[in-house]
Structure 1
Amino acid sequence: WKYRDWVIDAFNKDMPFDQFTIEQLAGDLLPNATLSQQVATGFHRNTLINTEGGTKADQFRDEQVKDRVETTGLVWMGLTVGCARCHSHKFDPISQAEYYQLYAFFNSTADNNSETPILKVPSDAQTERIDQLTAEAESLRRRIADDPDRQQRQLTWEQDLRDLVGQTEKDAEDPDEGWTVLELSGNSVDSSVLTSLPDRSLLVKGRTGAPDEYQATAFSPLTKVRSVRLEVLTHESLPMNGPGRASNGNFVLSEIWFRTGDGRELRFNYAAAEHSQPDYGIAKAIDGNDDTGWAINGAPEGSMNRNRTAWFVLPETLELEPNHALTFKMQFHQKDYALGRFRISISSDEWQDRPDLSVLSPLLAIPETERTAEQKQKLETAFLQQDPVLGPLQSQLLATSKELQQVRQSVPTTMVLQELQKRRPTFVQTRGEFLRTAEQVEENVPAVLPPLPPSEQPRTRLDLARWLMQPDHPLTARVRVNRIWMRLFGVGLVETENDFGLQGTAPSHPALLDWLAAEFQRRDWSQKQLIKLILMSATYRQQSVNRVDQQTIDRRNLLLARQNRIRVEAEIVRDLALAVSGRLSPQIGGPGAFPPQEDGVYAFTQRAKSWRTRTGADRYRRGMYTWFYRSAPYPMLETFDVPKFNATCTRRDRSNTPLQSLTLANSEAMYELATAFGTKLAGQTEDDEQRLQSAFRQCVARPPLPEETMALNEYLKQSRSRFDTEQQAWTAVARLLMNLDEFITRE
């Protein structure tokens, strides 16, 4: 979403189109590239990533590079360069060798069918807080290090610990002290069976093979809860003794949270674990991202199938009535990788790391002069936690470090392009097959277009981006102008806006296209100025009313004797309802939003997906922020022809179907907004006719005709006889108005 924010910000600031192009194609290669310029390269990280078992990274990296070549050709030049992947283009003067010369520009990026490289993109507030906490932590470390008596006190403390070694482990340290083990009952979304064992753990049995979600409920003996302990436990019935249900005994806990009996949903703000698999840290079980999680494979000592413990802390203490129900939810979004046995405990105290005598006693047996740096650090940390003099400073340091870790973990990341130090060689691929290589080629552009400026250095993506924006480039300005014209008129001056080649249509107004392209460059590539220029023209400001005299001469209105009617894009349909209802959130930027959606929609997808409908202002954000699963888009967007996101789309289809009307009238998201609009109308003090006229104007941007006013009055009268309240009657009117063709059509 950081890349999306970059695009929105660029349009709002009217970033010149040449800069807009260069930063997206090669922002990372600019001298002293800023964070923003690196984020811009996310444009070409929107290729598909295939992580299925048995896939070859090189093969799908090759597919990603080809996608970038073809997307660049389509978006900036309006050329179907992809037709030259397997053989020279059948119609346009682009040879197969020239295709792979373009391929060479993108062949040396560091990504390899993976999410990496990624870039942390902190906000200004996060950067300021990180700097502040880093300085505070460094100050505390200096104060601790400067204590002159610290070494002597640590020696005394170590001797005291040695005196405890002979005591029983329970006497030395009780791992359950301060914890209350819950008596759980549980169930599984995927029909697994959760059975309670005598030690109050739950053992999971039944089929595997699909993503799963556990719900474990218990009645809390405590009236205050601050921390939760999750023990993942082995069992002889599990693969490799577990504790997970995967074939190697592992698991991936995607998310964990819990809900109180009165409906409060509690999320943790801190997590720790005694062990985590690399790249599967415990913090990923509370990050709100279904595609990450906590796992335990990859232990340095090679011992995975053993009991492990994780601790979770709430932002503040939870107050409860006695014996209040708590329902813990654990999601496992990777097939087979669910937990096999676990136990949950709660505490009223905020959990903090404590020294483990079983770990410290072997270290105490090692002479001080023979200890490694890591062993010394473990003992020093344990001492500082218990020292009466430095303990408060150490607690402050731990709290500061904990907050610093949380802030750093909360910093959003985004995928970016990075160039390899050593460039990959590029070869023509026989029939487009990446394993069948022919002659080697270097970076270059098609000979039919202006040449690259001479250079003694190897060509890069930056050279390609600058070449696209050369004043003498015959395509870039025309293609962009034509697309803007298409957005404003429904059809471009070149109707085949994605094909300026020999198979494309000729411009309907070639001189106008040339003039607008020249003006676009003359106005420093300002898209806002270009749009204003078109909007103020008499051609744009025409009515879209159908003309009988035009039917035989220009039935498709290619000569623009009138304006065209255009149904708004899928994302804007709900935006219109948000606007008239008064619920539209003005927030710009930020993570994806989860608007209302009917239950069970994603039960039909190949992989289980969660949809946690947001509350408050996030529920009413613009459609462009709707969370988008590439394999399963938000259904309302699909109904209104949102394109598939697995390929480049420069022009959307527009359909008119009964399902669209049913969606406007009956979907949960639209009905909620119709209710809000109806409530607003019912609360106004004007008479019925004034309210109906106002509502009509808000929905279709014109006053109603007399016969329309009469029909609305009659419908309002009928609604009042059918429903009990004014609010319900006006909601019915709102639903009617929001289902009009004009409501979702730009006239």
Structure 2
Amino acid sequence: MIGQRLYWGVLAGVFLLSCQREKTENQSAEGTEGLVSYNFEIRPILSDKCFACHGPDAGKREAGLRLDDPKVAFKVLDENPGAYALIPGKPAMSEVYKRITASDTTQLMPPPASHLKLSAEEIALIEKWIRQGAKYEEHWAFTVPKKTKVPEVGQTEWPRNEIDHFVLRKMENQGFEPNEQADKERLLKRLSFDLTGLPPSLALMNQFDGSDQSYEKIVDQLLQSPAYGEKMAVHWLDIARYADSYGYQDDGYRTQWPWRDWVIHGFNQNLPYDKFVTWQLAGDLLPEPTKEQLLATGFNRNHKITEEGGVIPEEYRVSYVSDRTDLFGKAFLGITVECARCHDHKYDPVSQEDYYSLFAFFNNVNELGIESVIGGPETYAKKPFMEVTRHDIDSLLTFINKPDTNRLIVSIMDDKAEKRPTYLLNRGVYDAPGEQVFPATPRSILGFNTNYPKNRLGLAKWLFDPSNPLTARVYVNILWQEFFGTGLVKTTGDFGMQGELPSNPALLDWLAVDFRENGWNVKRLIRQMVTSATYRQSSVVSKEKYEADPDNRFLARGPRYRIAAEYIRDIVLASSGLLNTTVGGPSVKPYQPAGLWEGATSGRGLLSIYKQDKGSRLYRRGIYTLIKRTVPPPFMSIFDASNRDICETKRLKTNTPLQALVMMNDPTVLEASRVLASNLLKESSDTDQKIKKAFQLIVCRVPKEEEVTVLHDYFTSQLGKIDARSAEKLIRVGEYPIDNQVDARETAALMRVISTLYNLEETITKT
């Protein structure tokens, strides 16, 4: 009996202990889940509503209060001894909470005059955060990324690689399920556009059977295509603000295109990202640099340069150095350092001294603010420059496509032997020097290693230091944007306090570390992305998914967006058979409305009058269209291409009536429609077969029978309406020779059908 009581007593004790442990664990889990994150919930509120007056900018700081720095935020207030802005655990005693809930408008923060106001939800979050201890965290982007364990997921059969585990975990947490895989035609079109910027050929369509093995084979095939380098170069030219003119009012011609040819070559050769960037930043400072490494430094000479008389040379020289500094911050660090040119950054921990310390790395270039006014070939590159000889092209720089023997010069980087001193410029004014500063990097990101040389080569080493938190993250994010439409961090050029938070921080960090650990291999990273199940999803979206996640931040469907301007041109030329596939060479001038340049020019120089190219040069890819900064190509501008004035990491995507007018009336589109129509009419096939082939070439899928019927009826109706005279007028568009072997009326009728296909939304949309 005693034994039984003892047994049941012990059992009850174990049961109670177990229940207590379970309760404690549940409370712990609940508490962790309920913790307010400073990085993801509080900092965005403070950055938007408070940092302008209580942030990093000492010149604009009010009441000596700095809320971005816990050392200051927890100190006694200068203007109210005995009071504290924040008292951990005690919202009611914290001046911050008192002020944001004050009913007296003279006490309320933010002040009504600022037109900023905290919502009830934001106030509740701040109250909860203070109650939980007001714990600060270092800004997520300034912490070294860590390669966390690949998460486990419920649907173990769906992931194809590590990317999918991170994405699926996020989906499952939101109650989403991934979309089914896109059908093979749309998948191939997506892949071909993303890796080459071109529609898939009929041969490639016939080659792809939809299997995993076939898919991966085509991925590797496209990655080895010369068109891959052309596709990848476009986003880099936006970043590097590459153009074929100098900008400003005269906007003279420059021969910087050999650098563009090198970029294409670099991507095709899969030059590791660390070398790719180091050569561009500091190729001239490498031991015994090659001509290729010198050419790569043209990256930092792509900025606008004045050729106008009457300017102040030092003012413009300083602007060139500022341009390079701003480019470095946005392209490689994802930080808006330019905000610190005139004063301390209002939101990010980058002081004005930090800005000019970075500025110092670029301040020793052996250049002038104005070297010469607009004129002949000697002005096509500004000193320092290098001459590219025929011998160079035949032996060392074989990737440069130089069709003639004229002198070719390219602006590059070259530092002065004697160091030029750098000063903090008061209010950013070129002739208001303050204290002297020396080459250094923002300590908030990563202090400069004293073992590195204090020049651009040392800066490149700092950029690829394993402890640098930003370099790998920023480029991985730019590539993610290239293939998924939006970066994991939506603001690709701003990883700072005002930038968007990453939608999947664990995935971003895992990819960043993996990229670095695998030798900064760009093609490997791209292959990871495009072979993932995440990338292969159908873009069809249900009403429920769209309402829950309209921007597709949880990646529960495939990307859908209009492709870039250059590739719209490429689709038209490639599908019609007009495309000139020559890689590289001088930029070209295709069809353009008359008078655009003449109406916006100083009347001097090679680019004062638009002289359209002829022959095969009219049918070059979009990347080779000449960009005059003051009057960029209208087709490109209308479809949101950059005019290359400044570094751009992300293009806008607009939807305007002008875009439809371009597709209906642009000479290239109409000429391509006519040429394809003529070629199809010479084939021994019936009308339906011709329509099907045109549809497949342009839309990249086999049309449905009802679609063929509609297009056939349209062809028949046009054939009945078009007489011989109107047909002759219609087909006389463009300079490609008219094929007199085919009937003009049939050509005109089929031309209109094909033009209609080019105007389908599906044609120029990545789905």
TM-score range, shorter chain: 0.5 to 0.7
1:12 has 2:11 as partner: no
1:652 has 2:672 as partner: no
- Provide the C-alpha distance between the structure 1 equivalents of 2:609 and 2:419, rounded to a whole number of angstroms: 41
- Provide the C-alpha distance between the structure 1 equivalents of 2:265 and 2:535, rounded to a whole number of angstroms: 27
- 1:628 maps to what in 2? 627
Alignment of 1:184-195 (within 5 A): none
Shift of 1:126: 6.2
Shift of 1:119: 0.9
- Provide the C-alpha distance between the structure 2 equivalents of 1:618 and 1:59, rounded to a whole number of angstroms: 39
- Provide the C-alpha distance between the structure 1 equivalents of 2:338 and 2:721, rounded to a whole number of angstroms: 60
Shift of 1:648: 1.3
Q: 2:332·2:471 contact (CA, 8 Å) conserved in 1?
A: yes
Larger Rg: 1
- 1:39 maps to what in 2? 295
Q: 2:566·2:622 contact (CA, 8 Å) conserved in 1?
A: yes
Residues 546 and 126 (structure 1 numbering): CA distance in 2 closer, same or farther, change over 3 Å?
closer
Q: Match of 2:333, as an amino acid?
A: M
- 1:416 maps to what in 2? 412
**RMSD between aligned alpha carbons?**
1.8
- Provide the C-alpha distance between the structure 1 equivalents of 2:453 and 2:578, rounded to a whole number of angstroms: 54
1:692 has 2:691 as partner: yes
| Match for residue 434 of structure 2 among 410, 434, 438 | 438
Alignment of 1:572-583 (within 5 A): 572-583=567-578
Residues 116 and 732 (structure 1 numbering): CA distance in 2 closer, same or farther, change over 3 Å?
same
Residues 13 and 710 (structure 1 numbering): CA distance in 2 closer, same or farther, change over 3 Å?
same
Shift of 1:669: 2.1
- 1:726 maps to what in 2? 746
SS class of match (1:423): coil
- Provide the C-alpha distance between the structure 2 equivalents of 1:566 and 1:527, rounded to a whole number of angstroms: 24
Moved more, 539-548 or 120-129: 120-129
Q: 1:592·1:626 contact (CA, 8 Å) conserved in 2?
A: yes
- 1:23 maps to what in 2? 279
| Match for residue 116 of structure 1 among 379, 383, 405 | 383
| Match for residue 489 of structure 2 among 494, 514, 518 | 494
- Provide the C-alpha distance between the structure 1 equivalents of 2:619 and 2:542, rounded to a whole number of angstroms: 40
SS class of match (2:478): helix
- Provide the C-alpha distance between the structure 2 equivalents of 1:412 and 1:587, rounded to a whole number of angstroms: 19
Q: Match of 1:413, as an amino acid?
A: I
How big is each residue's C-alpha offset from its partner over 1:174-203, in whole Å with a ceiling of 9 and x where there is no partner? xxxxxxxxxxxxxxxxxxxxxxxxxxxxxx
Q: 1:597·1:669 contact (CA, 8 Å) conserved in 2?
A: no
Q: Match of 2:387, as an amino acid?
A: K
Shift of 1:418: 0.5
| Match for residue 102 of structure 1 among 349, 358, 361 | 358
1:744 has 2:740 as partner: no
Q: 1:126·1:411 contact (CA, 8 Å) conserved in 2?
A: no
Shift of 1:596: 2.0
Shift of 1:124: 4.0
How big is each residue's C-alpha offset from its partner over 1:652-683, in whole Å with a ceiling of 9 and x where there is no partner? 01111111111111112221111111112222
Q: Match of 2:446, as an amino acid?
A: P
- Provide the C-alpha distance between the structure 1 equivalents of 2:349 and 2:713, rounded to a whole number of angstroms: 65
1:550 has 2:545 as partner: yes
Alignment of 1:126-141 (within 5 A): none
- 2:333 maps to what in 1? 77
- Provide the C-alpha distance between the structure 1 equivalents of 2:602 and 2:434, rounded to a whole number of angstroms: 40
SS class of match (1:119): strand
Q: Match of 2:411, as an amino acid?
A: M
Shift of 1:449: 2.1
1:478 has 2:745 as partner: no
Moved more, 416-425 or 701-710: 701-710
SS class of match (1:539): helix
SS class of match (1:673): helix
- 1:525 maps to what in 2? 520
Shift of 1:12: 0.8
Size of the aligned set, in residue pairs, is: 469
Q: 2:598·2:610 contact (CA, 8 Å) conserved in 1?
A: no
Q: Match of 2:755, as an amino acid?
A: R
Question: Structure 1 vs Structure 2: percent identity of aligned residues?
Answer: 39
SS class of match (2:368): coil
Structure 2 residues without counterparts, runs of 5 or longer:
1-256, 372-381, 397-402, 725-744
How big is each residue's C-alpha offset from its partner over 1:37-79, in whole Å with a ceiling of 9 and x where there is no partner? 1111111111111222220111101001011001001000100
How big is each residue's C-alpha offset from its partner over 1:689-736, in whole Å with a ceiling of 9 and x where there is no partner? 222122111111122233322211111111211234221111111111
SS class of match (1:427): strand
- 1:680 maps to what in 2? 679
- Provide the C-alpha distance between the structure 1 equivalents of 2:367 and 2:307, rounded to a whole number of angstroms: 13
- Provide the C-alpha distance between the structure 2 equivalents of 1:610 and 1:572, rounded to a whole number of angstroms: 27
SS class of match (1:62): helix
- Provide the C-alpha distance between the structure 1 equivalents of 2:393 and 2:270, rounded to a whole number of angstroms: 27
- Provide the C-alpha distance between the structure 2 equivalents of 1:593 and 1:492, rounded to a whole number of angstroms: 32
Shift of 1:18: 0.1
1:49 has 2:305 as partner: yes
Residues 479 and 445 (structure 1 numbering): CA distance in 2 closer, same or farther, change over 3 Å?
same
Shift of 1:553: 1.6
- 1:158 maps to what in 2? none
Q: 1:489·1:540 contact (CA, 8 Å) conserved in 2?
A: yes
Shift of 1:603: 2.8
Alignment of 1:254-293 (within 5 A): none
Shift of 1:539: 0.6
Shift of 1:582: 0.5
How big is each residue's C-alpha offset from its partner over 1:99-150, in whole Å with a ceiling of 9 and x where there is no partner? 1000000000011134211211124476689xxxxxxxxxxxxxxxxxxxxx
1:451 has 2:447 as partner: yes
Alignment of 1:375-394 (within 5 A): none
Shift of 1:7: 0.5
- 1:665 maps to what in 2? 664
Alignment of 1:103-502 (within 5 A): 103-113=359-369, 114=371, 115-124=382-391, 410-455=406-451, 459-502=454-497
SS class of match (2:532): coil
- Provide the C-alpha distance between the structure 1 equivalents of 2:265 and 2:609, rounded to a whole number of angstroms: 29
SS class of match (1:643): coil
- Provide the C-alpha distance between the structure 1 equivalents of 2:685 and 2:415, rounded to a whole number of angstroms: 65
Structure 1 residues without counterparts, runs of 5 or longer:
130-405
- Provide the C-alpha distance between the structure 2 equivalents of 1:614 and 1:604, rounded to a whole number of angstroms: 20
SS class of match (1:63): helix
- Provide the C-alpha distance between the structure 2 equivalents of 1:423 and 1:621, rounded to a whole number of angstroms: 44
- Provide the C-alpha distance between the structure 2 equivalents of 1:546 and 1:689, rounded to a whole number of angstroms: 32
Normalising by structure 1, we get a TM-score of 0.61
Q: 2:596·2:631 contact (CA, 8 Å) conserved in 1?
A: no
- Provide the C-alpha distance between the structure 1 equivalents of 2:427 and 2:581, rounded to a whole number of angstroms: 51
- Provide the C-alpha distance between the structure 2 equivalents of 1:526 and 1:691, rounded to a whole number of angstroms: 43
